[in-house]
Amino acid sequence: MAAAFFLVPPLLVPGGFGDFPRDFLAYWSFGDRAAFPPGLQHLVDRQFGYHLVRVLIAVPLLAVLVVLVGRLRRFRLLFGAFALVAAVLLVENVQGVVSPFGTLLPLLASGLGKSDRAALLAQVRDQLGHGPVSPALRVMLDEYVRWHLVKAVLCGLLAAALLGLSVAAWHRRHRWYCLLTALLAAAALVVVAADVTTVADPDPGLLSLLQGSW
pLDDT tens track for 152-166: 999 999 999 999 888
How long is the chain?
Answer: 214
Number of domains forming the structure of the chain = 1
pLDDT of the residue at 31: 65
Pick the range with the lowest mean pLDDT from 1-15, 23-37, 47-61, 119-133. Answer: 23-37
pLDDT of the residue at 183: 93
* Preceding amide of 60 cis, omega within 30: no
Report residue 174 CA to chain centroid gap: 33
Give whole-number Cα distances, 18 to 15, 112, 136, 190, in Å: 9, 10, 20, 33
pLDDT of the residue at 212: 76
Q: Using alpha carbons only, give the angle 65, 70, 71 rounded to the nearest 5 degrees.
A: 95
How far is the first Cα of the chain from the last one, in angstroms, to the nearest whole number? 31
pLDDT of the residue at 77: 82
- As a whole number, mean pLDDT of residues 204-212 equals 88
pLDDT of the residue at 53: 96
pLDDT of the residue at 214: 56
Q: Are 92 and 103 in contact (CB under 8 A)?
A: no
Pick the range with the lowest mean pLDDT from 24-38, 101-115, 181-195. Answer: 24-38
Q: Report d(CA 17, CA 33) in Å as an integer.
A: 22
pLDDT of the residue at 30: 79
Q: Are 166 and 178 in contact (CB under 8 A)?
A: yes
Residue 137 pLDDT class (50, 70, 90 cuts): very high
Residue 79: domain span: 2-211
pLDDT of the residue at 213: 66
pLDDT tens track for 23-81: 998 898 876 666 888 889 999 999 999 999 999 999 999 999 989 988 887 888 888 88
Q: Are 137 and 31 in contact (CB under 8 A)?
A: yes
